[in-house]
Amino acid sequence: MTEPLPTLLVPGLLCSARLFADQIPALWRFGAVTVVDHRQDETLDGIAARILKGAPPRFALCGLSMGGYISYAILRAAPKRVVKLALLDTAARADTPEQTERRKAQIALAQSGKFGEVVETLLPAFIHKDRMNDEALKKTVRDMADDTGADAFVRQLRAIMSRPDSRPDLPKITCPTTVIVGDGDALTPPKVAEEIAGLIPNSRLVVVPDCGHLSTIERPQAVTKALVEWIQ
């Protein structure tokens, strides 16, 4: 048996450990699995520093959406500690002015006691258009929002808004990397994943059919299979 490799799983905006419920048992066979807490800080560097403080010396790193932005910050701070990298449904560019304005509006709503309304408006962006009647899937998203809370959501948005353009860093990544995206991801579509994979040397791109932004819970079997191949 090969030496166990610990894995850090980094959730996305408004997401919690529930995001990786189906992947944890499969990845655990290869080493300890930790879902990191990304709710305490309002900068990506602050989140990354907190994660690195409690992380093993070397680890596999898997981030979805905002988790990808955090993964870039971890790589900038400690590139030699990341043995393998998986980037799911994420982007490498900085926020556009339009995205920033939308986030500011979401912050204002959340701070005015309308956090639940914000969550409902995000559902069509998070879930594939053909699965908007999937009540179990929508409940999972709402449960993750409850796990996060309004205050942490605001901190996460501030961190996302201030993120740098990570594209110049991608060619420097030398560890085995898998990029995964849902073919119907409305937030970070396949062309965005293709850009990332094209900039990271020797990376692998996996496009998941009939899948939206939260690929790990929408198409868990396909994503788990890709992640097991990545960790092996």
Question: What backbone torsions phi and psi does residue 179 show, to the nearest 5 degrees?
Answer: -110, 125
Query: Residue 9: its pLDDT value, please?
Result: 98
Taking CA atoms, 65 is separated from 91, 112, 185, in Å, by 7, 26, 11
- Residue 115, pLDDT > 80, answer yes
DSSP state of 95: P
Task: Look up residue 26 and give its amino acid.
Answer: A
Per-residue model confidence as pLDDT tens digits over 49-79: 999 999 999 999 999 999 999 999 999 999 9
Domain boundaries in the chain? 7-95+157-231
DSSP-derived 3-state class of residue 33: strand
Residue labelled with tokens 């919690």:
16
Give the dihedral sign, CA 13/91/29/210.
positive
Please state the pTM of the whole predicted model. 0.97
Per-residue model confidence as pLDDT tens digits over 123-132: 999 999 999 9
> Which of the four pLDDT bands, split at 50, 70 and 90, describes residue 206?
very high
> Which of the four pLDDT bands, split at 50, 70 and 90, describes residue 3?
confident
- Cα–Cα distance, 107 to 89 (Å, whole number): 23
Q: What is the CATH number of domain 7-95+157-231?
A: 3.40.50.1820
Average pLDDT of the residues of the chain: 97
